[in-house]
């Protein structure tokens, strides 16, 4: 038995499924997860000291590559001064100020410790600020695991959804309307019917949790218009896209201004940090100013904040996103060329430092379309790449991530390996 197999067997005895977050368990691709011992730049090493080129990037945060020396130093320096105080610090003001200065839609932010907390509270804030109960989300978008967001679409277009997790009573999601991504007509119809009761729309403005799905031209602008018209709030869940697709997230790329933005991943530089923010007029509803309650023992944790500040400083370097986007596009296009040359139905897409690979002839635009991709082919590809030392996300329904350390040599060696793998498929 290999060391990874031994560890997995041992993990499964003490941890449900052997993992602390389900997708890590390789359930959809089969086989044994790699237990990671260390990571540096574009590489991770598993329990057998096998090196992999990593396109998971801790599911997004590792935009500078793993263990960037300046981020690690910031963490070490902060740790020496104490791990947690439960009292305000100057560094958390700095992090708030940096976020506000980078994203024009933010006038105030509150720091939390995960994306789930950020989105859960953003929903509560939208409900508290509008006095309305209903919320709109989209099929295939993931916004963390709070009850009212764990919803799959109902059987009819405009029926309220069903829980997508056991343990969530149907009443808890009875106010959540789940619509098709990129279908503005469905949104307009929903607001025609329920507009006066809808507190907010929450959307991944570029979806990264059903593989990568871009917003159709006009979709986000349409959501903005509908919300404004009906007095509902627009929440951009930029937990994944924030500082990943560009220096101002999707709101910077499109010019569409949300009322509330949620952030996590990159802003913590690999440490647990999340945030939600918006205008002062909206944020005044949050405790202790207003009646919408939210709190956290470790919120604004000084060590995590130090990692976030160092990361945000480094990614502000001139040309950072031009380079990152170019490398990511090189990978996506290179994979597509090689797969098609091998006669496979394959396409790829990217936005900034995020990419999608699809075993289908066309880039999908909705959850229904992405569900048509050949997952068996993806699983074969995934395992062959893994055997050759390239670690993609272990699911056909996840986006991939490139870091600033994925240089030409790293991309080229990925493409060389992929060429062999595609040919053998």
CA distance 65 to 87: 31
Choose the binding region for ligand PMP from 11-19, 32-40, 104-112, 203-211 (rule: CB under 6 A): 203-211
Tell me whether strands 43-46 and 51-54 are parallel, antiparallel or unpaired: antiparallel
Residue 114 as a binder of ligand PMP (CB under 6 A): the answer is yes
Q: Where in the sequence numbering do the catalytic residues fall?
A: 142, 237, 265
Residue 199 as a binder of ligand PMP (CB under 6 A): the answer is no
Pick the closer one to ligand PMP by CB: 59 or 367. 59
CA distance 375 to 358: 9
Q: Measured from the CB of residue 150, what is the shortest distance to ligand PMP in angstroms?
A: 11
Three-state DSSP class for residue 264: coil
CA distance 357 to 395: 11
Q: How many CB atoms lie within 10 A of CB 344?
A: 18
- What is the residue whose two structure tokens read 């098709």? 180
- What is the residue whose two structure tokens read 């829980």? 163
Pick the closer one to ligand PMP by CB: 129 or 271. 271
Choose the binding region for ligand PMP from 111-119, 311-319, 360-368, 372-380 (rule: CB under 6 A): 111-119
Among 55, 142, 181, 382, binds ligand PMP (CB under 6 A): 142
User: Residue 77 phi/psi, 5° resolution?
Assistant: -65, -40
Contact 398, 212 (CB under 8 A): no
Residue 59 as a binder of ligand PMP (CB under 6 A): the answer is yes
Residue 63 as a binder of ligand PMP (CB under 6 A): the answer is no
Q: Where are the beta strands (DSSP E) in 140-266?
A: 151-152, 162-163, 176-179, 198-203, 233-237, 260-263
Find, among 319, 251, 322, 316, the residue nearest to 104 by Cα.
251
Residue 209 as a binder of ligand PMP (CB under 6 A): the answer is yes
Pick the closer one to ligand PMP by CB: 386 or 393. 393
Q: Measured from the CB of residue 92, what is the shortest distance to ligand PMP in angstroms?
A: 18
The arrangement of strands across the sheet holding 51-54 comes to 36-40, 43-46, 51-54, 390-391
Pick the closer one to ligand PMP by CB: 116 or 148. 116
Choose the binding region for ligand PMP from 38-46, 121-129, 202-210, 415-423 (rule: CB under 6 A): 202-210
Q: Measured from the CB of residue 267, what is the shortest distance to ligand PMP in angstroms?
A: 11
Residue 263 as a binder of ligand PMP (CB under 6 A): the answer is no
Q: Measured from the CB of residue 208, what is the shortest distance to ligand PMP in angstroms?
A: 6
Find, among 140, 135, 88, 142, the residue nearest to 118 by Cα.
142
Residue 222 as a binder of ligand PMP (CB under 6 A): the answer is no
Q: Measured from the CB of residue 21, what is the shortest distance to ligand PMP in angstroms?
A: 7
Three-state DSSP class for residue 315: coil
| Number of chain positions touching ligand PMP (CB under 6 A) | 15
Find, among 61, 68, 60, 59, the residue nearest to 41 by Cα.
68
Q: What is the DSSP string of 236-283?
A: EE-TTTTTTSSTTHHHHHH----SEEEE-GGGGTTSS-EEEEE-HHHH
Residue 115 as a binder of ligand PMP (CB under 6 A): the answer is yes
Residue 139 as a binder of ligand PMP (CB under 6 A): the answer is no
Three-state DSSP class for residue 340: helix
Choose the binding region for ligand PMP from 182-190, 234-242, 243-251, 309-317 (rule: CB under 6 A): 234-242
Contact 169, 198 (CB under 8 A): no
- Letters for 143-172 (x = contact with ligand PMP by CB under 6 A, - = none) are xx----------------------------
Among 7, 153, 226, 264, binds ligand PMP (CB under 6 A): 264
Residue 259 as a binder of ligand PMP (CB under 6 A): the answer is no
Burial class (CB in 10 A: 0-12, 13-18, 19+), 14: exposed
Residue 350 as a binder of ligand PMP (CB under 6 A): the answer is no
Binding site for ligand PMP (CB under 6 A): 59, 114-116, 119, 142-144, 204, 208-209, 237, 239-240, 264
């Amino acid at each position: 038995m290999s060391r990874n197999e031994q560890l997995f067997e041992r993990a499964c005895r003490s941890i449900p499924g052997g993992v602390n977050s389900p997708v890590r368990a390789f359930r959809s691709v089969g086989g044994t997860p790699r237990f990671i011992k260390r990571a540096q730049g574009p590489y991770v090493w598993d329990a057998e000291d096998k090196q992999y080129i990593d396109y998971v990037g801790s599911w997004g945060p590792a935009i500078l590559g793993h263990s960037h020396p300046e981020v690690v130093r910031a963490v070490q320096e902060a740790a020496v001064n104490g791990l947690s105080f439960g009292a305000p610090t100057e560094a958390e003001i700095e992090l708030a100020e940096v976020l506000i200065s980078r994203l024009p839609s933010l006038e105030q932010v509150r720091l939390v410790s995960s994306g789930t907390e950020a989105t859960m509270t953003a929903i509560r804030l939208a409900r508290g600020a509008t006095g309305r109960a209903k919320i709109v989300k989209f099929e295939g978008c993931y916004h963390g695991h709070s009850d009212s967001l764990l919803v799959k679409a109902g059987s009819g277009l405009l029926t309220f959804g069903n829980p997508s997790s056991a343990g969530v009573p149907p009443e808890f999601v009875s106010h959540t309307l789940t619509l098709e991504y990129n279908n503005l007509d469905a949104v307009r119809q929903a607001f025609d019917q329920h507009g006066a009761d809808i507190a907010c729309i929450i959307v991944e403005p570029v979806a990264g949790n059903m593989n990568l799905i871009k917003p159709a031209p006009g979709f986000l602008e349409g959501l903005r218009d509908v919300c404004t018209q009906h007095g509902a709030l627009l929440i951009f869940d930029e937990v994944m896209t924030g500082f990943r697709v560009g220096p101002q997230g999707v709101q910077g790329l499109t010019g569409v201004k949300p009322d509330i933005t949620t952030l996590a991943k990159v802003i913590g530089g690999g440490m647990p940090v999340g945030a939600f923010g918006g205008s002062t007029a909206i944020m005044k509803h949050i405790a202790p100013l207003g009646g919408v309650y939210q709190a956290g023992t470790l919120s604004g944790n000084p060590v995590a904040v130090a990692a976030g500040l160092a990361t945000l400083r480094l990614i502000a370097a001139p040309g950072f996103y031009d380079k990152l986007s170019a490398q990511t596009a090189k990978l996506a296009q290179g994979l597509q060329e090689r797969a098609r040359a091998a006669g496979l139905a394959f396409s790829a897409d990217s936005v900034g430092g995020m990419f999608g690979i699809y075993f289908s002839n066309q880039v999908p635009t909705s959850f229904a379309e992405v569900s048509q991709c050949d997952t068996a082919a993806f699983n074969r590809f995934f395992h062959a790449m893994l055997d050759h030392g390239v670690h993609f996300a272990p699911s056909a329904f996840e986006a991939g991530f490139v870091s600033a350390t994925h240089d030409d040599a790293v991309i080229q060696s990925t493409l060389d390996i992929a060429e062999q793998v595609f040919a053998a498929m």
